[in-house]
Amino acid sequence: MLHTVSQISLGASSEWSKAQSGGRFSTPIGDLLLVAHAQGLSGAWFVNQCHFAPKLPADMVQQFLAQDAAQSSDPILQTTVNWLRCYFVSGHEVTLPALPPLYLLGTPFQQAVWQELLRVPYGQTISYAQLTAQVVQRLQLPPSYKGYRGVAQAVGHNPVSILVPCHRIIGSNGKLTGYAGGLERKEFLLHLEGAW
Catalytic residue among 33, 126, 166, 190: 166
Length of the chain: 196
Q: How far apart are CA 196 and CA 92, in angstroms?
A: 11
Q: How far apart are CA 148 and CA 154, in angstroms?
A: 10
Shortest CA distance to 49 belongs to which of 64, 66, 31? 31
Instruction: Mark whether 166 is an active-site residue.
Output: yes
Shortest CA distance to 106 belongs to which of 166, 48, 49, 187? 166
Beta-strand ranges (E) seen in the chain are: 8-11, 21-27, 30-37, 40-46, 102-105, 126-127, 169-170
Shortest CA distance to 118 belongs to which of 156, 78, 64, 169? 169
Residue 65, H or E segment: helix 58-65
Mind telling me the catalytic residues?
A: 166
